[in-house]
Structure 1
Amino acid sequence: MTTSSRKLDHIRICLDNPVESEGVVARSFDDLVLVHKALPEIDEADIDTSCRFLGRKLSAPLMISAMTGGHPSVKEINVNLALAASELGIAMGVGSQRAALEEESLKDTFSAVRDAAPDIPIIGNIGAVQLKRSGPGILDQLAEMIDADAIAVHLNFLQESIQPEGDRDASGVVKVLGEAANGSVPIIVKETGAGISRETAASLADVGVKMIDVSGQGGLSWAGVETYRAAEIGDCDLEEMGRLFWSWGIPTPVSIVECRSIGLDVISSGGIRSGLDVAKSLSLGASLAGTALPMLKPATKDAKAVVRAMSPYLRALRICMFLTGCRRAGELKGVPLVVLGRTREWLGARGYDLNEFSAYRELTK
């Protein structure tokens, strides 16, 4: 099967089937409670959600995360996402550009994004294994293809473990990421739904990586997507493995804390389903939050549908800022946060001081 055909499989499965993480670990953001400020002492009209990202101004610390590209049928999806991101003034990532490297005719399924959104940050995308095989020089080609502001190098070894055509050679990836991090194109190391630990973040920081997209457990499960594909071709062994590892990974809130503890700049993604989740992510230390799956079905309609789906995120973020007394989005990092449930247990077991997120924040201002 070609890379292009596989991309179409992924879109079809995500549109037609439940593909999110399951069970008690699925909604870790529900374990986080921002402490309400009954006297916010600010005028809501003065709230400014804007920020800067990759040298460009955004209306809010939000992005439409990497989703698709690489098949003629999905070009319109990417254009609708880009038009919506441009209208809203938020960032956007594209799916893996591997297919366009293999087939020249598919480049416009990616380049159309920059044509539709000339002024927002656009993040390109390539797998770590493909980067290792092609060498860091490929990043310039990928960036030029879409006039990208940065390239996300994705880590998807859980997906590869379940994918019938999966490539499971993860050797030498840290070294090539270090070479890429010291190149001319900014990179973002991005997981794809299983999160990044403190130990992995430290390894990345040691070789010069500055920014991580945690893409933690709690949103779309690529093991789940590949479970459906394995079932369709009758591979019962891989289907069984996919169901077993459907919800494998580090929950997004935990992964934010783990990566921030190393001092890296963090993008929160993986189960971001509202502006409240965005605010909680910023409170934990993320600088930006991204969502993908909830925007897919609207993008099959038109850009206006994507704007309607994303606009409540911006409104909820603004309300969260008002109810916690924050005039600027960056001030959410100082808001007291109560951590409950399994997330509290996880962070405690990993040795983190939970006072850092509670009233202690107020006492140390």
Structure 2
Amino acid sequence: MFFNAKKTNSFDQVQLLRPALPESKVDPAVIKTNWFGKELDAPFFINAMTGGSEKSKEVNQNLGRLAAKHHLALALGSASILAKEADQLESFYVAREANPDGLLFANVNPLTPVEATVKIVNDLKADALQIHLNVAQEAAMPEGDRDFIWLDRMKAIKDAVDVPIIVKEVGNGLDPTSIKTLQKAGFEWFDLGGAGGTNFAQIENSRNASPLHALDYVGLPTALAALLAAPLTDNLIVSGGVREPMDVMKSLALGGKYVGVANHFLHTLLSEGKDSLDEEIAKWKSDLTMLFALYGQKVQPVKVPYYLDLELKSQYDQLKDQIC
């Protein structure tokens, strides 16, 4: 039976309750939003992907053009390389050239020197800065960092830049304890980066002569991370394994204000080309507009009742005390 089909992603374990009488109409204006003072066509955005090479230059240029056309926010991949290889700036800046007035996020790791980070933000004319947390990925990399004392360095970056900071996990999920620690340190925006999409630790393990395979399975599933984080912050970004507009709808219902999409869009671009990604983004906007109408949503934030499959409910019940 389809009801008992094997679940492949934590979003599949979240079920939205649809009203038979939604009393709504299909209106693209309903999914429009404003973020950091800029108007956007939808609450989903193109999340951090790549930079620092000729191939990534082409990718970022195409993503910048599509972000401009569809009025979506765009987060660039890690620009920490610019602290050592300033000549790679153009591979990132092409996105800003293609989208001069759009919402653009720079991205660095916590060990990027403060002065270099300020320069990156200014050179890219970034509207906000993502600081990514990728401890599991670094641990799996043969040449990865082994110094994970990051909080004070992150605070120094926050104090030095004059744009909002988004703390972003990279495929393993932000847990409630870490969110509360970050809040005490003055951070306000959080991108969950949950497990369910690209597994960077697994990728790095595959090229490690002495892999630590336990890292392949340490991630906090995205839907579970959202359930745990939503009571702690209104500034929540849900990302990690977002495959379709229904996943966006579920992310918003779970408490996300915005939803990041990386792997699906990048795969479409690389395998099918920029025209296909153009059509895909247009369809996502159209489908999400329809879903808002079907679930009776006339304004944001989304308020849709939901229930959880037993596996996800059990996980949440075991961890929910961490919210307090």
When normalised by structure 1's length, the TM-score is 0.82
1:180 aligned partner? 157
Report the CA distance shift for 1:25/1:96 in structure 2 as closer, same or farther (over 3 A).
farther
Residue in 1 that maps onto 2:67: 85
For residues 309 and 53 of structure 2, the distance between their equivalents in structure 1, rounded to whole angstroms, comes to 43
The one-letter code matched in structure 2 to 1:340 is: D
1:189 is aligned to 167
Alpha-carbon distance in structure 1 between the residues aligned to 2:159 and 2:22: 44
Alpha carbons 1:129, 1:169 under 8 Å: kept: no
Deviation at 1:303, TM superposition (A): 2.9
2:241 corresponds, among 271, 289, 308, to 271
CA distance in 2, matches of 1:102, 1:351: 42
Query: What corresponds to 1:20 in structure 2?
Result: none
Identify if the C-alpha distance between structure 1 residues 267 and 31 changes in structure 2 by more than 3 Å, giving closer, same or farther: same
Cα distance between partner residues in 2 of 1:84 and 1:74: 15
Q: Which residue pairs with 2:282 in the alignment?
A: 311
Partner of residue 121, structure 2 = 143
Query: 2:234–2:257: 8 Å Cα contact kept in structure 1?
Result: no
Is 1:47–1:326's contact at 8 Å kept on the other side of the alignment?
no
SS of 1:44 mapped into structure 2: coil
Could you list the per-position Cα deviations for residues 149-178 of structure 1 after superposition, in whole angstroms to 9, with x for gaps in the alignment?
01100000000011111102111x222323
Question: In the superposition, relative to structure 1, how do residues 25 and 196 fare at CA in structure 2: closer, same or farther (>3 Å)?
Answer: farther
Question: Conserved in 1, the CA contact under 8 Å of 2:27 and 2:289?
Answer: no
What percent identity do the matched residue pairs reach? 28
Q: Deviations over 1:267-313 (max 9, x none)?
A: 11001011111111111111000111112233336432221232332
Deviation string, structure 1 residues 315-357 (Cα, Å, up to 9, x no partner)? 2221221111011232x1x21111123221111111369xxxx
> Contact 1:182–1:208 at 8 Å: present in 2 too?
no
**Distance between the aligned counterparts of 1:218 and 1:46, measured in 2?**
29
- Could you tell me how far apart the structure 2 residues matched to 1:302 and 1:31 are? 32
- The equivalent position to 1:121 in structure 2, one of 103, 128, 137, is 103
Counterparts of 1:248 and 1:46, CA distance in 2:
39
The alpha-carbon deviation at position 46 of structure 1 amounts to: 7.0
1:202 and 1:146 map into 2 onto residues whose CA distance is 30
Shift of 1:49: 0.6
Match of 2:85 in 1: 103
* Partner SS, residue 195 of structure 2: coil
- What TM-score results when the alignment is normalised by the length of structure 2? 0.92
2: CA distance between counterparts of 1:150 and 1:316?
28
Q: C-alpha offsets along residues 200-251 of structure 1, whole Å, 9 cap, x if unaligned?
A: 0000000110100000011100012112322xxxx1x22xx24x32232111
Which is richer in helix?
1
- Opposite residue 82 of structure 2, the aligned amino acid is A
Q: RMSD of the TM alignment (CA)?
A: 1.9
2:33 to 51, 72, 90: 51
Q: Secondary structure at the match of 2:196?
A: coil
Counterpart residue type for residue 179 of structure 2: A
Worse overlay, 96-105 or 161-170: 96-105
Q: Which segments of 5 or more consecutive residues in structure 1 lack a partner in the other structure?
A: 1-23, 354-365
1:299 to 269, 274, 286: 269
Which of 194, 200, 215 aligns to 1:216? It is: 194
Q: Counterpart in 1 of 2:15? A: 33
Q: Displacement, 1:25?
A: 7.8
Partner residue in 1 for 2:3: none
Q: Is the Cα–Cα contact under 8 Å of residues 28 and 289 in structure 2 kept in the other structure? A: no
**1:91 Cα deviation from its structure 2 partner:** 0.7
Deviation string, structure 1 residues 97-144 (Cα, Å, up to 9, x no partner): 1222211221000011000112221110101122xxx13x43321111
**Contact 2:109 2:133 (C-alpha < 8 Å) held by counterparts:** yes
Verify: 1:247 aligned to 2:222, yes or no.
no
Q: Which residue of 2 aligns with 1:325?
A: 296
Instruction: Confirm or deny: 8 A CA contact 1:92 1:122 kept in the other structure.
Output: yes
